[in-house]
Amino acid sequence: MQPLSICTDMRAERPSAFRKKNWKNGRGSQTAADMFSQVLAALLLGNAALAAPLARADSTCNNARLRKAWHTLSHDEKKAYLDAELCLMSKPATLGLRGAKTRFDEFQSVHVYQSEIAHFVGQFFPFHRLYVWAHEEALRKDCGYTGAQPYWDETLDAGAFSKSIIFDTEVGFGGDGIGTSRCIQTGPFASYINPIGPGYNLTNHCIQRQISDAASRGAVKSIVDGCLALKTYLEFWNCVEGQPHGAGHGGVGFQMLNPVSSPGDPIFYLHHTWLDRIWAKWQAQNPEVRFFEIGGNNRGRLSDGFTPSPGFPGGPGGPGGSDPPFIPDPRVFDGLVRPDDVPAPIVLGDPGNTTTLNQVLQMYGVIPNSTIAEVMNIQGGTLCYEYD
């Protein structure tokens, strides 16, 4: 399969279905009128304009990293990634973020701070895209990792997470939680003590899982394909966050199912990289529009104890669920009301309740902040990667 890339010179031959023309994103360029103006200006330049791409990837993205599915990696590639994650878990925290003791914890802290405005909101995809990129950069710069961030192709395991090779005990993320503690007892992360969570709580605990094949069914290919067929960002975002997203978190369970502190399980990053690949694939179907298309509300409803918006997939009146129903351990949802020592996250950029390209994605020092516009293109300069 050719890499999923959106960094192609328009002078080249017609791209394949997985390789689309690259339109450089710009700050606040949200309307069809804006895009029409860019096209018209290029045409008015005549032959000089036609000699160069109408718009192209930033020149700083000359060697895009290839993100590959976990199941395609060699033994050595898997071990290199796991060793780099263990390295982050061994390095002391430096940013002064609440509860963090290691570099790994610092990323979890960022998610805790931003959880209210990163879920059930329009910036769900852009926030997690930059967040996963920041994690990948830390693996490379702090721990000498030379690969790209892998993803977990959950369509291969939907309905059967318990049998997935990703839970291998040697070159995987360890198995299910055991006993009433639900602590994992196998794999490279079995001895890690996580000081953050559940939710906003600060407690020392193991990595906990409650793998559910039933809950993982929302990751089946037919559902993903249905999301990809939707025409607008609002439809697509709601579809993916509600089912494939929820299936990955619910299918792994326990720590991964807590919407605030879920990055305490390192499998989080492979799950969200898969979701980012789905978004990139949807964008590649119509990049002229979808590199600029964003929208939705700015605030979810996590501050009152994680209540999804009515009608949202997985929320009251929304589609989803499983048969038999998945019943998570009630401890999963501890700590979901934000305490006084965690400031309410502020939407920077456009202060209204509509997500725009001008909004700033806050990363609290793990990587420089970016606007949503700057991360719409995975090869736009701020980011530089492609998918297999």
| Rounded mean pLDDT, 122-132 | 97
| H/E stretch holding 269 | helix 268-284
> At 272, phi and psi to the nearest 5?
-75, -25
25: nearest Cα among 53, 52, 58: 58
Beta strands in 102-182 (DSSP E): 177-178
299 — pLDDT class (breaks 50, 70, 90): confident
Would you call the peptide bond into 310 cis, given omega within 30 degrees of 0 as the criterion? no
CA–CA dist 264, 242 (Å, integer): 21
Instruction: List, as one string, the DSSP characters of 274-322.
Output: HHHHHHHHHHHTSHHHHTT---S-S--S-TTT--PPTTSTTSTT-S---
State which amino acid sits at residue 107. Answer: F
288 pLDDT more than 80:
yes
51 — pLDDT class (breaks 50, 70, 90): very low
What would the two tokens of residue 17 be? 């279905």
Are 359 and 251 in contact by the 8 Å Cβ rule? The answer is: no
For the segment 65-78, what is each residue's pLDDT rounded down to a tens digit?
A: 999 999 999 999 99
Tokens 């709580």 sit on residue: 201
CA 247, 252, 255 angle in degrees (round to 5)?
Answer: 110
9 pLDDT more than 80:
no
Tell me which of 182-196, 251-265, 271-285, 346-360 is least confident: 346-360
Tell me which of 17-21, 65-69, 224-228, 337-341 is least confident: 17-21
Summary mean pLDDT of the chain:
83
Architecture of domain 66-387: Orthogonal Bundle (1.10)
Give residue 53's pLDDT. 29
- Domain layout of the chain by residue ranges: 66-387
> At 65, phi and psi to the nearest 5?
-75, 140
CA–CA dist 222, 387 (Å, integer): 20
Measured between alpha carbons, how far is residue 6 from residues 60, 183, 294, 367 in Å?
A: 15, 41, 18, 23
Tokens 């309410």 sit on residue: 344
State which amino acid sits at residue 147. Answer: G
| Rounded mean pLDDT, 137-143 | 98
154 — pLDDT class (breaks 50, 70, 90): very high
CA–CA dist 93, 89 (Å, integer): 9
CA 239, 242, 244 angle in degrees (round to 5)?
Answer: 80
Tally Cβ neighbours within 10 Å of residue 225.
10
Tokens 């192609």 sit on residue: 8
Instruction: Say if residue 14 is exposed, middle or buried (CB neighbours under 10 Å; 0-12, 13-18, 19+).
Output: exposed
Give residue 375's pLDDT. 98
Instruction: Say if residue 365 is exposed, middle or buried (CB neighbours under 10 Å; 0-12, 13-18, 19+).
Output: middle
| Rounded mean pLDDT, 99-128 | 96
Give residue 305's pLDDT. 44
Give residue 45's pLDDT. 31
357: nearest Cα among 374, 378, 377, 345: 374
Percent of the chain whose pLDDT exceeds 90: 73
Instruction: List, as one string, the DSSP characters of 70-120.
Output: GGGS-HHHHHHHHHHHHHHHHSBP-S--TT--BHHHHHHHHHHHHGGGTSS
Give residue 122's pLDDT. 95
Tell me which of 53-67, 96-110, 259-273 is least confident: 53-67
Which residues have CB under 8 Å from 118's CB, separation 6+? 111, 124, 127, 128, 300
Are 357 and 294 in contact by the 8 Å Cβ rule? The answer is: yes
Tell me which of 16-20, 187-191, 223-227 is least confident: 16-20
